[in-house]
Copies of this chain bind each other. A is one copy, B any other.
Amino acid sequence: MKRPTVQDVAREAGVSPSTVSRALHTRGYASPDVRDRVRAAAEKIGYVLDHNARNLRSRTSTSIGVLISDLRNPFYADLAAGIEEELRAAEYQMVLVNDNADPAEEMRAAETLLAMRVPGVIVTPVTADCPRMLQDNGVHVVCADRELRRSGGDVVLSDNKAGARELTEHLIGLGHSRIGLLIDETKWSTGAGRLAGFRAAHVDADLTLDENLIAYTSFDAEAARRTTRDLLGQQPTAIISANNVLAQGALAELKDRRLKIPRQISLAAYDDVPWMSLVEPALTTVDQHTVELGRSCARLLLARIREELPTRRRIVRVAPRLIIRGSTGPAPRA
């Protein structure tokens, strides 16, 4: 299956290959009539540029690597959708890889992207090694959603501390003083920020936080459910789950116990995903503007690639928004 090349277009238009190249892409270097003739010729014989040849010649590529943990989680899907939208508008392509939050997979993917000579990668990093290795090889990196110590690269984050603080304040404002926090990780900036916001709200309100109300679990709905069961032993009047996956488990457990939400117990989540407005009562949660987060990542990366930015590392913090729905209400009288 042989496809037409610039040579063929050149012959058809009666000009040289270099003129074809200029007429088709470089701006201003060809007279208008030649340009038209070349374009017509290209169209006529069905010429399609060869990215591989162009990339080889110019040592770049318009493919951008996107490394995420789990496309089936709406958070990552939205993030990827935002990234893709922005890349497409700029005529870049998105090479999407699921690394399942596995360091080895992540590293393998990074190597593949190196081989593709992508100019940049957006990653929700599992370890700092991956972003670092990419940068050591001259690839621009934007870390999305979390910041790792010594990962380097630009970062786009949701302001987790502010979001969690606002959410916690909302509950405190409703009279809750025993608020349980269901959380999986606090090593990454994501969980750490949410925990910090949770604590900060307590401090601001002069409330002593019973450490037993912080329930550590693993990133999986079933585990969250069991942890919620334990947490209920601490007699909280409200529960915050640190992300959308944990919220599923928490909700399942509360429903299973036939606890009236929010009359007997309030439930709030972090990271708004569609199902939270479909359940009854709908869940109070923090919207991370995930799609916009993705768009920001892409814009930042593209600016880097075009060298429009000062070398200094940039950290973009996207303000989240508290969405109050029916699942949170006044604390029950003791």
Which of these, B1, B61, B137, B274, contacts A48 with CB under 8 Å?
Answer: B137
Whether A137 contacts B50 by the Cβ 8 Å rule is no
Whether B52 contacts A56 by the Cβ 8 Å rule is yes
Which stretch in A168-176, A208-216, A275-283, A309-317 binds the other chain? A275-283
Whether B61 contacts A52 by the Cβ 8 Å rule is yes
Which stretch in A29-37, A113-121, A157-165, A223-231 binds the other chain? A113-121
Which of these, B53, B88, B98, B279, contacts A280 with CB under 8 Å?
Answer: B279
Which of these, B77, B95, B279, contacts A279 with CB under 8 Å?
Answer: B279
Once A1-B137, A138-B1, A278-B279 are accepted as A-B contacts, the answer to whether A84 and B71 lie under 8 Å apart by CB is yes
A278–B70 Cα distance when bound, in Å, is: 20
Which of these, B80, B81, B94, B117, contacts A51 with CB under 8 Å?
Answer: B117
Whether A112 contacts B96 by the Cβ 8 Å rule is no
Once A98-B88, A280-B255 are accepted as A-B contacts, the answer to whether A93 and B78 lie under 8 Å apart by CB is no
Min Cβ gap A306→B in Å is 16
A265 at the B interface (CB under 8 A): no
A74 at the B interface (CB under 8 A): yes
Which of these, B50, B80, B137, B280, contacts A71 with CB under 8 Å?
Answer: B80
Contacts of A109 in B (CB 8 A): 88
- In chain B, what residue has the closest Cβ to A100? B85
A63 at the B interface (CB under 8 A): yes
A63–B77 Cα distance when bound, in Å, is: 20
- In chain B, what residue has the closest Cβ to A280? B280
A242–B323 Cα distance when bound, in Å, is: 30
A21 at the B interface (CB under 8 A): no
Contacts of A117 in B (CB 8 A): 50-52
Which of these, B46, B97, B137, contacts A94 with CB under 8 Å?
Answer: B97
A94–B274 Cα distance when bound, in Å, is: 26
Whether B98 contacts A85 by the Cβ 8 Å rule is yes
A205 at the B interface (CB under 8 A): no
Contacts of A80 in B (CB 8 A): 71, 96
Min Cβ gap A269→B in Å is 12
Min Cβ gap A98→B in Å is 5
Instruction: Give chain A's interface residues, CB within 8 Å of chain B.
Output: 1, 3, 46, 48-53, 55-56, 61, 63, 70-72, 74, 77-78, 80-81, 84-85, 88, 91, 93-98, 109, 111-112, 114-117, 137-138, 248, 251-252, 255, 274-275, 278-280, 291
9 contacts across the A-B interface (CB closer than 8 A): A3-B138, A51-B117, A52-B55, A72-B77, A72-B81, A80-B96, A88-B109, A96-B96, A248-B274
